[in-house]
Amino acid sequence: MKLEIKQLVKNYGSFTALDHISYTFENGIYALLGPNGAGKSTFMNILAMLLKETQGEIILDGKPLVKQKKSFLNMLGYMPQQQCLYEDFTLKDFMYYIGNLKGMKKQEIISRSQYLVKEVKLEDVFYKKLSAFSGGMKQRAMLAATLINDPKILILDEPTAGLDPMKRMEMQNMIASFAKDKIVLIATHVVSDVEFISSKFIFLKEGHIILQGDRISILECL
């Protein structure tokens, strides 16, 4: 898969949050780094088609994204930063609900859920309400739900936020284990949360890519 971003601009009124960003994603794990206000969320929201760009073009496998919106949204998994979990749902209900939203068939949802809850180590709490989950468990529940339809493009906004160091490491390893044959974009302002699993690094600041490259070239700069 190839996702090309060309001269992307996003203005909020007279304020420019993204200023002519160009970048090409192919399968792999990408770390999107930068301080608060850099434009990371804006960038991800545009990729997830939740926000419209002011200017520029996004091309998926040679075709403009706007011309394949429906199929793109079916291959997208987006995990926002704020945990928008339905606390009153059990994990099972939550995963079935998300699967349904994605238009999956019941049997497909069942088998996929069973696989995913094992992978994120939540099989023992499949029938428990999300309100009883710890922060780390909720995070893993969100990851599992995001993966329900085996998205080929996975966008994760601060997936390790609020976790202790051990759990951060665990989350990294889980994400890496799901990354095969996908474009995975992870936004964070903590380099150590992505440094072991990312193959490419993109540093955003004030709406510009100020530094980008592969592991080795970037780690040499830091």
Judged by the rule CB under 6 A, the positions of this chain that interact with ligand ADP are: 12, 15, 17, 34, 36-42, 121-122, 124-125, 134-137, 163-164, 167
C-beta closer to ligand ADP: residue 6 or 208: 208
Residue nearest to ligand ADP (CB): 136
The amino acid sitting at 146 is T
CA pair distance 155, 86, nearest whole angstrom: 20
* Shortest Å distance, C-beta 1 to ligand ADP: 24
Q: Which helix (H) or strand (E) holds 63?
A: strand 63-64
Q: Which helix (H) or strand (E) holds 184?
A: strand 183-188
C-beta closer to ligand ADP: residue 69 or 118: 118
CA 68 to chain centre: 20
Cβ atoms within 10 Å, residue 92: 17
* Shortest Å distance, C-beta 51 to ligand ADP: 8
* Shortest Å distance, C-beta 49 to ligand ADP: 15
Q: Helices 135-146 and 165-177 meet at what angle, rounded to 10?
A: 10
* Shortest Å distance, C-beta 29 to ligand ADP: 19
* Shortest Å distance, C-beta 216 to ligand ADP: 25
Contact partners, residue 207, CB within 8 Å, separation at least 6: 10, 16, 17, 18, 19, 21, 38, 39
C-beta closer to ligand ADP: residue 40 or 182: 40
* Three-class DSSP category at 186: strand
* Shortest Å distance, C-beta 137 to ligand ADP: 4
CB 43 within 8 A of CB 21: yes
CA pair distance 209, 216, nearest whole angstrom: 18
C-beta closer to ligand ADP: residue 152 or 170: 170
C-beta closer to ligand ADP: residue 102 or 140: 140
Residue 161: closest CA among 193, 191, 134, 200: 193
C-beta closer to ligand ADP: residue 109 or 125: 125
C-beta closer to ligand ADP: residue 20 or 167: 167
* Shortest Å distance, C-beta 92 to ligand ADP: 13
